[in-house]
Structure 1
Amino acid sequence: MRIATSQSFDRPASLMASLNSKADLLQTQIATTKKYSAPSDNASAYVQVQGLNRADANAAAYNDNVKLAQGILTQADGALANVETELQRAQELALQASNGTLTATDRATTAASLTAIIDGLLSIANATDARGQPVFGGATGDTAFVKNADGSITYAGTGQPSAIPIGDGDSVVPGVTGDRAFGDMFATLVALRDAVATGGEVPEGSLDGLKGSLDSVTSARASIGARGARLDLVYDRIADTKVANEEARSAIEGTDISASIAELQKTLTVLQATQASFTKLSGMSLFDYLR
């Protein structure tokens, strides 16, 4: 019988090379926790992972925007809560001034208190957010309210403030314009203060005007609360999407460590057996083949 010596050596050598290559791949997958080390290893999987990575990048940007909008809305709500407190104090002063029993000193004190309230409210109304834009301003981003030479205070904004994108095709306006939030609040307060300071009668409709301003503030806070609740839902949705993307990414490119370790051990066992057989084979002489 003719013996092909080259075949006796080539087959186990080829098998050992294949087993070595497989062992190296498994070790790399275990070490990196990735099934693929290069796009060429699995082009389809690479495209899918890149799509998930882009989705995560977009989600991260939207998540930052949601946090920004939440911060601005929280600031606006806190400011409006302070406005409510000041307006309630102004109502008390208006009631005192309307009973007709105030002395000149009392009137001066009440007028000073109303001036302090007006100044405080003007400061609140012109607060700026984390972007440096007025919380209660309009589209231009300029100062929301201005104090005129005659002491009157007017709203200077126009249009709606810029919306913040929080998703594909989705956005939220993070503030409330001053004219909507406060109505004719400053006009009522200035007229009341001036009347008290000069000893005149409390302007008719002052109490109703202050109540109307309070109603406007309450309505604005309700709007802010609704948008805040919506942002909470968006925030949770983004978090859920991130988890889903991570699970999908892991399923596509992640290494099953337990399975890979078991497969590596199996491969190494076969490799060792093959090496032992090859070593024994390579040590045999022609006489050993013939006998």
Structure 2
Amino acid sequence: MIARTMRESLYTYWHGGEAARALATNPAKQASATTSSPPPPPPPTPGVFSRRQFTSNAPAAVPAPVEAILPDEGPDLPAIGTPVDRVAGLLFKLETQRRRRSGPAVLSAAHRRYIQASAGWRLRLAYNLDPGDPALYEILYHYITTTSQDLGQVKERSRIVTEKALAQAKSSQGGMANALTGVGAAINGLNDLILAAQPGFPTKNEVAPHWNNIISLQQQFRETRAAAEREGWWMNIPFARRVEIDDHARFLDRIVVKFRDNLAARGYLVSHQ
């Protein structure tokens, strides 16, 4: 529960946060906000499975500066619903505002580094609390591969977290979420192999272990998913969590199909279950 609670704010942070309200239509305020600081640089491409080239001289990605917004008024208690629903709605609004930045100035480089380091610490803690969460793994992998200029360090850290996810998925304690995390880790491992071999392409013997991991973990997920429905405990999982699991599984399936087509076009005999 703690890991999932932390994950929501981390997911918001790495994906740009909620859409901030635009500045009020006051020309004086808008002029002050735009002339007091230079325009922010374009943000890095967000999203899970964000691919990158291994270049040693590429600058590390930093969180995009947040557009200046005006601070909100205090949230009002919703006027409709049961008392419990109204209090829950108020708490949700408070949590939403807590994640918004109300300062009018663009973040300084030092402040960006502080926020990035703080987010990285919380991310690692959340992932260690729940290493089977597919979203936490993807955010951590993206963080590792986009926040360091040391190519050797990036490769080593990404390898460690990927191998940990695969080991967890293949263990006797691995469940549906672990299998999905393992599929994502195997895809990242295959993608790293292909990138490292550029401008060439890895051999069939190098590709085979990664592809076998993808196929076996996909099958493991499907079997566990079918058993959950057959045994009746699938419906005991909260609805939002069930939707998240199925959506992520379909997302990974689409990526696997693209890899399969790419490998088949190069003459690799691959299977897809």
Band the TM-score falls in, shorter-chain normalisation: under 0.3
Larger Rg over CA atoms: 1
TM-score (normalizing by structure 1)? 0.23
TM-score (normalizing by structure 2)? 0.25
Q: Which has the higher contact order (CA 8 A, sep 6+)?
A: 1
Higher helix share: 1
